[in-house]
Structure 1
Amino acid sequence: MHLGKKLRLERIFNRNTGRTIIVPLDHGVTVGPISGLVDLRDTVGKIAEGGANAVVMHKGLARCGHRGEGSDVGLILHLSASTSISPYPNAKTLVGSVEDAIKLGADAVSVHVNLGDESERDMLRDMGMIASRASDWGMPLLAMVYARGPKVKDEYDVDVVAHCARVGEELGADVVKVPYTGDMDTFTKVVEACCIPVVIAGGPKLENGRDLVQMVYDAVASGGAGLSIGRNIFQHDNPSLLIKTLNQVVHNDLEIEDAMEMLEKG
């Protein structure tokens, strides 16, 4: 592996466990300045204090989240975008480059692909191009791959999710982010069919902390490499405490009841 890529991956993965806690903060382009994404420095501070490994941001947001003090956290620059008010919200387009990430001191780049969308071929082409460029520079690539389109009946189906993970792997990503399939047996099949680290997305806002902790615990126990979860973390009442708890689950295999006690006691 390119030494530069190895060093950058070690900034966004725990080098002892090979796992990671990533908190995406790129939602502002898609849905606007929602709760938790108004004061970016405060949010990033809480995320870093909790011990997350990395955040995901668009290029213009990096300056708003930079603090210059406190705990450090890795930066993954997101290169894909679309908005919820577009008639084609699932059609992602490139809005940044690997060179942008290098200039901003990022540790990795990420690209979003929605399989099954009418513009799938464009998104696949873009991810393949970014993967090649990232490889040239020794820049890790996180591929966010989902199945969203008219032929997709269930985006959480194990065969569908495994297909998503495999696309990320085969087109040159170093890490792939996919939805959790809902249980350990099926997610194990996803992980076993992919030779790069697989992290889970958070999906819609969950009802309570236990559901989130359980999902993360099960995903890691299935062989997953951690999580890339946004709203369920940055919109939590105490993001720092939640991340500290998830840290114990992801990196130290803390059991569910012990994790819930930690979360509830604060």
Structure 2
Amino acid sequence: MSTPGSSYRLNRLFDPRSGRALDVAVDHGFFGERSFITGIEDMRATIDTLIEAGPNAIQLSPGLAPVLQGTSAANKPALVMRTDIANVYGNPLDEHLFSLVFPDAIEQAVRLDAVAVCVNLLHLPGRPEIREHCIRGIMALRQEATRYGMPLMIEPLVMQDNSSGGYMVDGETDRIITLVRQARELGADLIKADPTNEVGDYHRVIEVAGSVPVLVRGGGRAPDDELLARTQAVLEQGARGIVYGRNVIQHPDPAGITRALMSILHEGVSAGDALATLQSRSAGGAA
């Protein structure tokens, strides 16, 4: 579905050396869940830290995107703009669930000079109406994104049964590839997909996405060694990048973990060497 305008924007997302990207997601506050904003209460400070660390992009809601775009820092990260809001993460859940897309999201993204927009494709067991809302929103975004040359990143999220309260991600490979394929069929220019429980299965996600670049979600907080090893593994299987949020912004050293991830992405550094560098940085005091 890419148009010339969208490919121009993607040139600012993917690193010219590696063809890969690190997008740090800081749009968590948009979803109204208190635990999501731990570590990012002061968004000005958070964004300043990330600008200094230098990921390829920062993912923000329309209300906070101006904090990034209003800075004059040279070579600042590109903006990926979140377009939708849902209330599926609370514990306990609200009685009424919804997923809504800004009606003028693409125009806002153009005005804010975004390189892409991001929208959820939610699969909640027993709640097909939420998936329908997502599909309707994606269809509307696809039409406007094509008109304005704005790359559309679809985020397929397969959720477990919500018997424990809020919905949690389901990492079962077959369920992920089914929803990833639907994202491709709906016209995604980029797909932001969950890691599979069996990391060695990730080539199957890449296969079903075809020519659409896949960026892998980070999900909940993970130990540094696990996160870095998983990053290397999905890249070796064909992922074009990563979209990590809490694993960066809730890390004791956000700049350090960002640089470790960037070294794996763009310099081909092994997960073990990246971890050693991160640990030595921590031992010597973050700089």
TM over 0.5: same fold?
yes
**Does the 8 Å contact 1:132/1:172 carry over to 2?**
no
Local SS of the residue matching 2:154:
strand
Local SS of the residue matching 2:11:
helix
Partner of 1:6 in structure 2? 7
Higher deviation after alignment, 86-95 or 123-132: 86-95
Q: Does 1:111 align with 2:114?
A: no
Partner of 1:20 in structure 2? 21
Local SS of the residue matching 2:12:
helix
Determine the C-alpha separation between the residues in 1 that align with 2:96 and 2:260.
34
Partner of 2:81 in structure 1? 77
Percent identity of equivalent pairs:
25
Query: Cα RMSD between the aligned structures?
Result: 2.2
Determine the C-alpha separation between the residues in 1 that align with 2:46 and 2:206.
31
Local SS of the residue matching 1:113:
strand
Q: Which runs of 5+ in 1 are unaligned?
A: none
Determine the C-alpha separation between the residues in 2 that align with 1:221 and 1:233.
21
Local SS of the residue matching 1:11:
coil
One-letter code aligned to 2:133: D
Local SS of the residue matching 2:22:
strand
Deviation string 1:183-209 (CA, Å, 9 cap, x unpaired) is: 343111111111211111111111x21
1:1-266 matched pairs, under 5 angstroms:
1-30=2-31, 31-32=33-34, 34-65=37-68, 66-83=70-87, 84-85=89-90, 87=94, 91-95=98-102, 96-116=104-124, 117-118=127-128, 119-148=130-159, 150=161, 155-195=170-210, 196-206=212-222, 208-266=223-281
Partner of 2:284 in structure 1? none
Higher deviation after alignment, 109-118 or 157-166: 109-118
Local SS of the residue matching 1:77:
strand
Deviation at 1:90, TM superposition (A): 6.4
**Does the 8 Å contact 2:206/2:237 carry over to 1?**
yes
Deviation string 1:219-244 (CA, Å, 9 cap, x unpaired) is: 11111111111011011111111111
Q: Which runs of 5+ in 2 are unaligned?
A: 282-287
Deviation at 1:48, TM superposition (A): 2.3
Local SS of the residue matching 1:200:
strand
